Amino acid sequence: MRYREVSPFPSLRRDLAVLVDRGHAAAELLETIRRQAGGDLTAVELFDRYEGRGVPAGQVSLAFRLTFQRTDRTL
């Protein structure tokens, strides 16, 4: 078990929805987000998958919740 300092500063959450081809793996997008979001990213989760009205045929909308936080200052 690893110890992680509890931050006295509030976290910042952002939701991001993207359209991808139906066969695209959500896990691959999660890894890309983790690599590109920077060191302040503390959590990322897939919270919605939608296909239907308003989404082009053959595509799906994936929505991710990103949480950012610092232990030394506010964002």
For residue range 42-58, what is the model confidence (pLDDT) as tens digits? 999 999 999 999 999 99
- pLDDT at residue number 75: 87
Instruction: Decide if pLDDT at 4 tops 90.
Output: no
Kindly write down the DSSP assignment for every residue of the chain, as one continuous string: ----PPPSSPPEEEEEEEEEETT--HHHHHHHHHHHS-TTEEEEEEEEEE-STTS-TTEEEEEEEEEE--SSS--
Q: Who wins on pLDDT, 45 or 2?
A: 45
Query: How many CA atoms, within 13 angstroms, populate the side-chain half-sphere of residue 10?
Result: 2
For residue range 10-51, what is the model confidence (pLDDT) as tens digits? 999 999 999 999 988 999 999 999 999 999 999 999 999 999
Domains of the chain: 12-68 (3.30.70.380)
Instruction: Decide if pLDDT at 60 tops 80.
Output: yes
Nearest to 39 by CA among 70, 6, 12, 2: 70
